[in-house]
Chain A
Amino acid sequence: MEIPPPDLGTGRAEPGIDPAARAGYPDHPPRMGFFTDTSVCIGCKACEVACKEWNAVPEDGLLLTGMSYDNTQGLSASTWRHVAFIEQSAVTTRTRDGAPITATGAEGAADLRWLMSSDVCKHCTEAACLDVCPTGALMRTEFGTVVVQDDVCNGCGYCVSACPFGVIGRRETDGGAHKCTLCYDRIGDGLTPACAQACPTESIQFGPLDELRERANQRVAALHDAGKPEARLYGADPGDGIGGAGAFFLLLDQPEVYGLPPDPVVTTRDLPRMWRNAALAACGLAGAVVAACVTGRA
């Protein structure tokens, strides 16, 4: 029975739930994560390549999609980093409050804007994939990340439908579920994850999550000062529907533009209510048996 013990805290400054402590690591290293600052992403896809190489992730189709420079299309069982390319011709974006901003560049050259963003598993504080996994193959590491144990996964596919971001997938060739491990094998050895190591612009930053959040807030403030009010953080708030992401982003437009859900909520938050209703329905079924068999004669 894996009912998580109450969060006792470890005296660290990080707000919200401490997922590693809740998963039963009383003494654990700081929670590690990614801060992906899309404002400096140049779309080189070094992260995609480094991830494939290090993790020996198989090829997942070679095709030309016509989606700008994106022929990867999205995260899947065999794509753990995905660089999105968004071409915007009329550069009208909105701030977080919904107010429209029309960007004007030098000599009217700003009528095209290219957004690039390297997407990855969010390593949610409240992870639906991990909650619904019936085998315990999905587990929380001491770093607070979420990892699939490939030798345990039986390919039931429940995590695929539970993930609110559409990250995890089932691989056709081996029948198992796969996703980003935040390079569990590297960070346990003091190394940086392959994607962050390969990123030439430090768009992908790896480190203790509380430090990353602090750095991200400073970066947003700097961008706002520099006349980029559309800069906003995504997944950095421990009060959001997934308790905050372990891998969060700085975006320059609405999350939907990048293919991210605007307000993801972990499905298991409603689970107690669901079990209650199912129990009532089961009682109703028993009541129907009594009504059909006891009242009146056959």
Chain B
Amino acid sequence: MTGSAGRRGGEKQMVPEAEFSSYYGRPVLKETVWGPDIPSYLFLGGLAGASSGLAAGAHISGHPVLARAAKTGAAAAISLSMVALVHDLGRPARFINMLRVLKVTSPMSVGTWLLSAYTPLALAAAACAVTGRLPRGGAAATIGAAALGTGVATYTSVLLADTAVPAWHDAHRELPYVFAGSAAAAAGGLGMLAVRPDHAGQAARFAVLGAAAELTAKSLLLRRLGPAAEPYQKGRAGTMMEAGDVLTAAGLAGAVLAGRSRPSRHCPAPR
């Protein structure tokens, strides 16, 4: 912004000051019609996808307690996600129309197919882990869910970025990393809550990596975005973003501390 005060003495302004006009102050874009279901889904989908990743890591490295908890968490989160997704539709009975086509130009279409493949695997992995049946099938489902889960946790960033909303679209470079980090932080946090501390080491490390990535990517995003970042910094959204950052940082610190002072086997799990 160049104000006239900063101008050298008596220099004549050849270009008129920019004036921003609008049509009776009305926004050019339509406000999104997505209600609270979609942000809930973004969180739950990330939680589920990253939990499946953590589950596979714990499963393969021989930590069945954490693996079982993460598989169960993923199955629960993705089930709630599907409810939120269908509920948000203007015509929920027509959810199945999502499966008429596969369009790479529509992140929602890609995501629907991704979820259609991921959800049964996540449910199967959890069912096998809980019942102890079909261990081989369970292992295969665990690996499959983990592979697709990384996509489930990150495609949602493209879903938001592929819109005309400047704060979403212009953030498309960093948003996937924010989502991946936040998903890992959530999954790690759930793992730490769900199992006894002596089983939670991998979950704590996952949460630390995720929270650090999320905070880093978010600060890069805000710095690059400039004026388009205003919606993230002002009003109710700004307050919630700030609260989220503080909580993530606190969770990060907590996870680091938990990793340092590993309690004995007999300590009760923190709630």
Spell out A's residues near B (CB within 8 Å). Answer: 1-3, 65, 67, 70, 73-74, 76, 84, 86, 94, 98, 100, 128, 131-137, 152-158, 160-171, 174-177, 254, 256-261, 264, 267-268, 270-271, 273-275, 277-286, 288-294, 296-298
Q: What's the Cα separation between A132 and B104 when bound, in Å?
A: 9
Q: In the complex, which residues of chain B have a beta carbon less than 8 angstroms from the beta carbon of A1?
A: 101-104
The residue on B at minimum CB distance from A1 is B102
**Chain A residues in 8 Å Cβ range of B26:** 73-74, 259
Residues in chain A near residue B103, CB distance under 8 A? 1-2, 131, 133-134, 136
B30 near A166: Cβ-Cβ < 8 Å: yes
**Judging by beta carbons under 8 Å apart, are B165 and A161 in contact?**
yes
Closest chain A residue, CB of each to CB of B52: A289
Q: How far is the CB of A296 from chain B (nearest CB, A)?
A: 7
Could you tell me if B54 and A292 are in contact, using CB atoms closer than 8 angstroms?
yes
Q: A137, B97: Cβ atoms under 8 Å?
A: yes
A-B contact pairs, 17 of them (CB 8 A): A98-B15, A134-B103, A154-B91, A156-B89, A157-B32, A162-B162, A164-B28, A168-B30, A170-B90, A256-B28, A277-B172, A278-B155, A280-B176, A282-B154, A288-B206, A298-B58, A298-B200
Inter-subunit contact A156/B206 (CB<8 Å): no
Q: A260 CA to B157 CA in the complex, in Å?
A: 27
A266: nearest residue on chain B (CB-CB)?
Answer: B164
Cβ of B22 < 8 Å from any Cβ of A?
yes
* Interface of chain B residues 142 through 186 with chain A (CB within 8 A): 146, 150-151, 153-155, 157-158, 161-165, 168-169, 172-173, 175-177, 179-180, 183-184
- Across the interface, B91 reaches (CB within 8 A) one of A158, A175, A258, namely A175
B248 within 8 A of A: no
Known: A152-B97, A170-B90, A286-B150. Is A161-B105 also a contact (CB below 8 A)? no
Give the interface SS of chain B, mostly helix, strand, loop or mixed: helix
Q: How far is the CA of A169 from the CA of B161 in the complex (A)?
A: 19
**A286-B27 Cα distance, complex, nearest whole Å:** 40
Most buried by A among B27, B162, B165: B162
Q: Is the CB of A271 within 8 A of B105?
A: yes
Do the beta carbons of B154 and A281 come within 8 Å of each other?
yes
Verify A134–B162 contact, CB threshold 8 A: no
With A1-B104, A284-B180 as contacts: A161 and B97 at CB distance below 8 Å: no
Chain A residues within an 8 Å CB radius of B61: 293-294, 298
Query: Which of the residues A132, A277, A285 comes within 8 Å of B53, measured between beta carbons?
Result: A285
Interface string of B1-39 (1 = CB under 8 A from A): 000000000000001100011111011111011100000
B79 at the interface (CB under 8 A from A): no
Tell me the residues in window 63-121 of chain B with beta carbons closer than 8 Å to chain A beta carbons.
63, 66, 88-92, 94-95, 97-98, 100-109, 112
Q: Report whether A293 and B90 are in contact in the complex, using a CB–CB cutoff of 8 Å.
A: no
Q: How far is it, in angstroms, between the C-alpha of A285 and the C-alpha of B217 when the chains are bound?
A: 13
B94 proximity list for chain A (CB < 8 A): 135, 152-155
Given the complex, which residues of B lie within 8 Å of A155, measured CB to CB? 89-91, 94
Among B34, B107, B210, find the residue whose CB has the most chain A CB atoms closer than 10 A.
B107
Give A137 to B98 CA distance when docked, in angstroms. Answer: 10
Q: Would you list which residues of chain B between 43 and 66 have a CB under 8 Å from chain A?
A: 49-50, 53-54, 56-58, 60-61, 63, 66
Chain A residue nearest to B30 (CB atoms) is A166
Q: Which residue of B lies closest to A254 (CB)?
A: B21
Rounded to whole Å, the gap between the CB of B164 and the closest CB of chain A is 4
CA distance A75 to B175 in the complex (A): 31
CA A260 – CA B63 in complex, angstroms? 58
B199 at the binding interface (Cβ < 8 Å)? yes
Chain B residues near A135 (CB-CB < 8 A) = 94, 97-98, 100-101, 109
From B22, B154, B184, B206, contact of A259 by CB (8 A)? B22
Q: Which 10 A-B pairs have the closest CB atoms?
A: A155-B90, A175-B90, A259-B23, A293-B57, A281-B176, A154-B94, A298-B201, A292-B206, A282-B150, A157-B33
Q: A134-B108, A277-B177, A285-B154 are in contact. List 10 more A-B contacts (CB 8 A).
A: A84-B23, A131-B105, A132-B105, A134-B98, A169-B30, A274-B107, A285-B180, A290-B57, A292-B202, A294-B57
- Report the Cα distance A94→B15, complex, angstroms: 11
CA distance A156 to B91 in the complex (A): 8
B218 CB–A CB distance under 8 Å: no
Chain A residues near B163: list those with CB within 8 A.
128, 132, 158, 161-162, 267
Provide the residues of chain A in CB contact with B153, threshold 8 Å: 282, 285
The answer to whether B107 touches A289 (Cβ under 8 A) is: no
B66, B88, B164, B199 — most chain A CB neighbours (10 Å): B164
Does the CB pair B158–A154 fall under 8 Å? no
Bound-complex Cα distance A203 to B169 (A): 35
Give the CA-CA distance A177 to B108 in the complex, in Å: 16
Nearest chain-B residue to A75 (Cβ)? B30
Contact B188–A292 (Cβ < 8 Å): yes
- Are B56 and A284 within 8 A (Cβ)? no
Complex interface: chain B residues within 8 A of A86 (CB): 23
Instruction: Give the residue name and chain of the B residue nearest to A158 (CB).
Output: B108
**CB <8 Å contact, B105 and A268:** yes
CB distance from A235 to the nearest CB of B (A): 14
Contacts of A259 in B (CB 8 A): 22-24, 26, 28
